[in-house]
Chain A
Amino acid sequence: MQAYSPSTSFNDLYNKLAELGGVGSQLIYVKRYENDIKAAIAKMPADKAAQYSHLSAMANALSVYMGLFDTDLFGSRPYSETAQAKYGGTLTPNYESQEKLFEQWLTELNADLAKLKETNTQISVGDNDLAYGGDAKKWVKFINGIKLKIAARLLHQDKAKALKIAEEVGADDANVMQTITDDYVYNKGTGGDGGNNTYGTDNSVNLGTCSKNVIDFMRRNKDPRMLVMFTKNDFNSEVIQAFFDAQARGDNNCAIPKYILDQVNYTTDGSGHKHFTSWKGDGEPWVRYQGLPIGMTISEKAEYTGDNNYFVTTRWKVTDGDKSKTYSPLSYFNEELVRGRVDYTFPTAPKGKVVQDTEDNPLYEMTISTAEMNLYLAEFKLLGANLPHSAADYFKTGVEASAKAYSRLATLNKIPYYDKAHCNDKLDEPVTYNDAAIATMMAKADYQLTGNVASDLEKVYIQMYLHFFYQPLEQFVTVRRSGVPKVGSSLIPWVAMKPSTELPRRFYIAQPDPADKMRAIIEAAMTQQASPLPMDKNPNCLTRKECGTTKVRLTLVKDLITKMSV
């Protein structure tokens, strides 16, 4: 998605996408519990069962959400017959096409909405609902959010139907999340399995350095989300002074990259020894963020390994006596937003104090949010839906909510610098922000809709792209269906890299084991939607429309290809 650049260079010419393990079967983890709840309710007398109708609606909403998650990557999935083995169902559920699934889910979601509007006494779910505490009104908004997601995916298949769903949702403000307290943010606390479920994952997660195009866009628009979505680089004033000191001692190997040195005000004394005085421009914390340019094999091009060094790590090493440290000038994916056990060591001079953040924090994660719902409504309004507010209003609500949500997540997850500056650097600043910073961003032209539908749509999609940085599947789906980031854009441009100008529509799945009883069913479903197995047979197949002839398609990539090609 060109959101992140691998830190050195690309290894293969094709974007090879592989089955990502758990993705593709997340639905089953949730559906088993929904089915267990259903089985338990079925055994209750009618008056008691009625008290559980809100609960069963909530459980069903979560199943549909996960079902949607799985089909985004893999197309046809089993749904109606899954997770029934314990209740007398089959061991080998059938796959259903996406078209049928969407129909099924819209029906189920509308039934859930009806249940949630019932006013008879319900059992109190309370704290067992980690996100909403059992508040039915918020669930109504969440379910309408899922409907909007389905509508967004239907746009290329059946625009009229998609717009109709959007109008259904948008008609009543009570259906739409309005503030970040409506966002689905959950945290599993400590306990439970006490390990990976609580803190995120166990293995470290590193998507790489952030792309320069993204950071440059956010920086020139003073988008404060940048400060928490990515990490500060290691070049604070103390470290820069350490480089100056080492060079004064005769170390000619270490060098501050030009793109960083250009932002530093320093004096040079008689012996050539430089001294840091202040930061240029916006100063802290903005100046500490640096992205990596995107391109093929640029790690071998002189313009990226010379003065503007992005790759040669040996030049970022400073030695002072017997102590030495290597510093990175780039900003990375902020791992502590997805994994609570990250230990962070603040950058200091080689002989400097050791300052660490080793606290383990149970993870807070966000899914459907005010930002997402309002940005969809902005998009639908621009595409012609009849909605009560203007596209500009929805846009403003959405982007502001996104900014507030990220600041809140940063605080809840206690990322480094969230509440105070690094004690060793007097110029350092914390990274969370207030409403005034958000207002400054909203005043920029790139964050204002003008009425030109094409350019407004691009702005909406760019905002979705940014908002979904920590929901990579959503980001993938958005790019796939919108074609944004675009080549040649004045906002965030897409970099064309020969020879691949195409984006896969679907991920391949590994060929089912001969021992897998589902093999026949899976192969039939995949043939029907023309996903080739195994992948090696024709790796190009996933990206070309001519691969397979069935009508069941979620996205039409031809338009996207036209937009993206050089």
Chain B
Amino acid sequence: MVDGVILDNATSQSGDADWDSNINDYGNQLKNLNPDDFESVSVLKGAAATALYGSRGLNGAVVITTKSGKAGKGVSVKVSQTVGIETVYRSPDLQNRYMIGAFPGGVDYGDEYTATGNLWSDNMSSFARNSKGEYSFIEQYGNFAWGPEISWAEGKMFEQYDGTMGPAQMFKNNYKDAYDTGVNTNTNVSLQGGNDRTQFYASASYKHNKGTTPRNTFNRFSFLGKASQKVGDIMTVDFSVNFTQSQPRNAPLNIGEYFANSTFPREYDVKRYRNLYKGEHGGLASDKYGDLYRAVPGKGLWWSIFENDYKQTETMFRPVLNINVQALPWLQLSAGGSLNYYAIDGELKAPGSGYANEGGSYSLSHTQTTQENLYLAANLNYQINDDWEVHGFLREEYFNQYAQYHSESTNGGLIVPNQFFIKNSKQQANFNSYKFNTKRIVSTIFMLGTSWKNQLFLDVTGRNDWSSSLVYSYGTGNFSYFYPSVSGSWIITETFKDQLPKWISFAKVRGSWAQVGNDTSPYYINSGYAVATYQRGDKKIYGMTIPENMKSTDLKPERKNAWEVGLDWRFIDNRIGLDVTYYKENTKNQIMTINVPWESGVKEKLINAGNIQNSGIEIALNTTPIKNKDWQWDLNLTYTSNRNKIVELSPDVTSYINLDGAANYGNYRIASVAKVGADYGMLMSDSWIKTDEKTGKPVVGYTGNYRTIYYKRGGTVKEVGSMLPDFLGTLNTTLRWKNLSLYVLLDARFGGYVASYNSRYATAYGFSGETEKYRKGMTWTSQYANSKDKVFTDGFIPDVVFDQGTTITTPAGTNEDVSGMTYQEAYEKGFVEPAHLQSAAYFKNSWSRGVINDDWFKKLNYIALREVTLSYNVPTNICSYIGAKSLSLNLTGRNLAYLLNTAPNHENPESVRGTGAAQFRMRSFMPYTASYLFTLNATF
């Protein structure tokens, strides 16, 4: 909420972690706010506070108040300039010792294979040759990096990806080379001033940011003008207008994943090949046309980055008007309104990547959302006598929202290549336009409170909302809901002023109980047919489709009941402050979709369901250990621990609802679920490692083609851990000496599982740092007919038990049933040779056989060095040389390092995909990016 206008902060509609490599995240409208305009930002938690903001404050509110004019002292001008850079300083762990190649048993290249077709040649010394007999990276099997150690390549020459000859080497920094150094600048100028009747504030700012991904930029221009004018004796008129225009361009693609999924092997020189992706004909180089760069890996990524161009122009316009009339000394009447207009214009140019730029596309889109607010209020403030006062208000609010979307795009390719306009579409252009988000809420709110002698405080609120989104298309619905709250606090130190020891400077306890109601998205509760049109030759055929979900015809509003208690104690002259809050909330009748058996003809049903409980504790400790004339040291800590529990779902749900992911399918085979009696965000999966009941050892199968073991999946869906952190915490400290101060912020998270796609597959394929432990093991000479007398160096005897029904072909050629035997026993009997470690690592993590293990599924603990800032307030005497009233210089570093990080392969711990509550999957193999900023603030 900004100055009374509630802004929509939708969570990112980022791509699904299972199927979308790229996030395509352009954020929401909050990126268009100018932080230099903020006077204060406060977080209101607890339903009591948010009961005043209605249903959209159901989960809390961030309340931002912008700066205003100030009376007296003439006009002050503030100028602020920031310049900064961003660098990628680290990548997730990647191995740098082994070349591309297959693991034993899969070597379908190289001299021996070409002559005999035998797949068991030594993978640590085999390499493909081209038709001229030269070793060749183009011909070599590139899906895995289980090949020779790089020392084997010394002195040898290899055909490179562009056809020239050269040595083979590991490019340890190729990941970082893919990123640029980002630069950014922000300039802000503001004016503030006024007298006792008129105050004003105006600011203008410009920001330009070039990111670390090539061609990713963000520009923002923002203007804010505010004025407050006293009219007559009792009336004040406030008016403000905010205008912002921004242009995000080319959101970063998931470049990191290419280093994990074998597209960019460790021998790939980013600097050399980054620009070698075109064929002479102008499109993407391809072996279909025999282009020179046909074999350069990952061309498609560079094409997308350097040839495609997507930009958005976002416009925000927000006028706000408030009129206050002090009708009586104890009664103030006010009225006002605001408008928030937010439009996004998008344009995508994608040149064709086919032969001679065949293909390609162009699209235009426009989205605009308008929100209107009007209110009428009466505020009461009456001092009954010395001890008692009473206050309150009665308020009527009207909120209206509507939006519209248009888009067109070419279809089937561009007629004339590289000319970008919609009519240049080979097939009939696609179009889509609709109105959406039409919603209206009318509310009546009252508050009544009292306080006694500034010691005891009591407030009661009540609110009734009428929401259009709970009205069915045939006019009925449960669309009116009332919710009250009561809160009180007691300042103990006021009551026992003289009885308490001096070192207790302040003590307050507070408690509240509140109920908040909530509606749902516009039109969500309605069901209907969809129109489908088919065309055969010249004829059009019309049909309809039936939705695959069913909606209850009696949906009710959601309700949250929350209570909270807290204390705020300060000691030793406010040098130590402790703020503790404990809360418990139950949300009932959530409007949610549950899965129902498809045999019934629908897949999902929309119902009111459940009782989801949220409870936890928040502690803030603020201390100032040192404080004197020249020195001050502040040390502050916060600790939060939250537990979501599902108390009850719906009788139509057997035991759980899937929130994110899939427990028995896909790239992860893990889902976060809402399960009765468990955390919201319990993780379930069917690919936990099956263990033998008697011995507790893992149960495995054997693959004769690769002569190694693979773990058996449990097969039934079971809980495997919770994604909820045990706690989150921050520590910040400021050390000030005279005009210089140093600020350090750390924040931490402990507990809760994450699952990483790239750690899983990069380990299976041999590219990740984890694979170091899977390269070498026992050495032995094989006796199998097709690997006779070959020496292998990656053997191991796993501590496992063979599953029932496992038969093995021994080196002698006989078949043996090894059901129930340990690998050690089978080895001693001569049925098996040592298992291959490299291929075992593959099967442990592959799509079809992989199991949950700590190569990619781990509890995430991290401590981030979030910020270090050094500030200097230039002494006033020096300032006056340039005519400034004050001048400060700041040097800041952000996201500088992680002091602790348990993510698999030391991936960036903050790369979980998406901002929704149930998301735990890491998909972007993100870099570690540090920012360094220098800011100069001057006031004139």
Which residue numbers of A lie inside 8 Å of B, CB to CB? 8-9, 11, 25, 28, 31-33, 35-36, 78, 82-86, 89-93, 127-128, 130, 187-194, 246, 251, 253-254, 299-300, 302, 304-305, 311-315, 317-319, 322-325, 345, 350-351, 354, 356, 358, 360, 362, 510-511, 513-519, 534, 536, 538-540
- The docked-state distance in angstroms from the alpha carbon of A311 to that of B117 is 8
- The docked-state distance in angstroms from the alpha carbon of A515 to that of B542 is 38
A302: chain B residues at CB < 8 Å are 116-117
Count B-side interface residues using an 8 Å CB cutoff: 67
- Asked, given contacts A82-B601, A84-B600, A315-B114, whether A300 binds B712 with beta carbons under 8 Å apart, the answer is no
Verify if B742 is at the interface (C-beta below 8 Å from A): no
Report which of B533, B543, B546, B658 forms a contact with A32, defined as CB distance below 8 A.
Answer: B546
Verify if B933 is at the interface (C-beta below 8 Å from A): no
Cross-chain contact B599 with A534 (CB below 8 angstroms): no
- The docked-state distance in angstroms from the alpha carbon of A299 to that of B118 is 9
Verify if B289 is at the interface (C-beta below 8 Å from A): yes
Instruction: Using CB atoms, name the residue of chain B closest to A27.
Output: B599
A35: chain B residues at CB < 8 Å are 601
A25: chain B residues at CB < 8 Å are 598-599
In the complex, chain B residues 705-728 whose Cβ is within 8 Å of any chain A Cβ: 705, 712, 715-717
Q: List, sorted by A's number, 29 A–B pairs whose CB atoms are closer than 8 Å.
A: A8-B108, A28-B601, A32-B602, A33-B546, A36-B546, A85-B550, A89-B601, A127-B536, A128-B541, A128-B543, A130-B536, A189-B535, A189-B536, A190-B536, A191-B533, A191-B540, A251-B132, A300-B786, A312-B114, A322-B290, A324-B287, A324-B290, A345-B288, A356-B288, A511-B716, A514-B654, A514-B717, A515-B654, A518-B599
- Asked, given contacts A85-B602, A92-B599, A127-B539, whether A513 binds B663 with beta carbons under 8 Å apart, the answer is yes
In the complex, chain B residues 106-153 whose Cβ is within 8 Å of any chain A Cβ: 108-109, 113-114, 116-119, 128-133, 139
Verify if B292 is at the interface (C-beta below 8 Å from A): yes
Verify if B326 is at the interface (C-beta below 8 Å from A): no
Per-position contact with A for B670-681: 1 when CB-CB < 8 Å, else 0?
000100000000
Given contacts A82-B601, A536-B712, 17 further A-B contacts (CB under 8 A): A8-B108, A28-B599, A84-B601, A89-B601, A90-B600, A187-B536, A189-B534, A190-B535, A192-B532, A192-B534, A193-B532, A305-B117, A514-B656, A515-B657, A534-B715, A538-B805, A540-B805
A130: chain B residues at CB < 8 Å are 536, 541
B566: chain A residues at CB < 8 Å are none
A542 to chain B, nearest CB (A): 13
Verify if B890 is at the interface (C-beta below 8 Å from A): no
Instruction: Using CB atoms, name the residue of chain A closest to B786.
Output: A300
A90: chain B residues at CB < 8 Å are 600
Per-position contact with A for B542-562: 1 when CB-CB < 8 Å, else 0?
110010001000000000000
Q: Taking chain B's interface residues, is the majority helix, strand, or loop, or is none over half, making it mixed?
A: loop
Instruction: Using CB atoms, name the residue of chain A closest to B120.
Output: A300
- The docked-state distance in angstroms from the alpha carbon of A28 to that of B603 is 11
A540: chain B residues at CB < 8 Å are 805
Instruction: Using CB atoms, name the residue of chain A closest to B355.
Output: A354
- The docked-state distance in angstroms from the alpha carbon of A191 to that of B786 is 55
Cross-chain contact B114 with A314 (CB below 8 angstroms): yes
- The docked-state distance in angstroms from the alpha carbon of A302 to that of B786 is 12
B231 to chain A, nearest CB (A): 60
Cross-chain contact B805 with A539 (CB below 8 angstroms): yes
Q: What 6 pairs between A and B have smallest CB-CB spacing?
A: A323-B290, A83-B601, A305-B117, A189-B536, A85-B600, A189-B534
Verify if B730 is at the interface (C-beta below 8 Å from A): no
Instruction: Using CB atoms, name the residue of chain B closest to A539.
Output: B805
Cross-chain contact B716 with A516 (CB below 8 angstroms): no
- The docked-state distance in angstroms from the alpha carbon of A518 to that of B128 is 53
- Asked, given contacts A191-B532, A300-B119, A325-B290, whether A86 binds B653 with beta carbons under 8 Å apart, the answer is no
A86: chain B residues at CB < 8 Å are 550, 601-602
A358: chain B residues at CB < 8 Å are 354, 358
Report which of A193, A300, A514 forms a contact with B117, defined as CB distance below 8 A.
Answer: A300
- The docked-state distance in angstroms from the alpha carbon of A78 to that of B598 is 11
Cross-chain contact B596 with A91 (CB below 8 angstroms): yes
- Asked, given contacts A354-B355, A514-B717, whether A253 binds B131 with beta carbons under 8 Å apart, the answer is yes
B663: chain A residues at CB < 8 Å are 513
- The docked-state distance in angstroms from the alpha carbon of A36 to that of B543 is 13
Verify if B696 is at the interface (C-beta below 8 Å from A): no
- The docked-state distance in angstroms from the alpha carbon of A445 to that of B704 is 45
In the complex, chain B residues 561-615 whose Cβ is within 8 Å of any chain A Cβ: 595-602, 605
Interface centre among A11, A82, A189, A510 (most CB of B within 10 A): A189
Report which of B355, B536, B664, B673 forms a contact with A510, defined as CB distance below 8 A.
Answer: B664
Cross-chain contact B597 with A515 (CB below 8 angstroms): no
Cross-chain contact B654 with A517 (CB below 8 angstroms): yes
A515: chain B residues at CB < 8 Å are 595, 653-658, 673, 717
Instruction: Using CB atoms, name the residue of chain B closest to A519.
Output: B654
- The docked-state distance in angstroms from the alpha carbon of A444 to that of B712 is 53
Cross-chain contact A93 with B600 (CB below 8 angstroms): yes
A191: chain B residues at CB < 8 Å are 532-535, 540
Cross-chain contact B289 with A190 (CB below 8 angstroms): no
- The docked-state distance in angstroms from the alpha carbon of A191 to that of B596 is 30
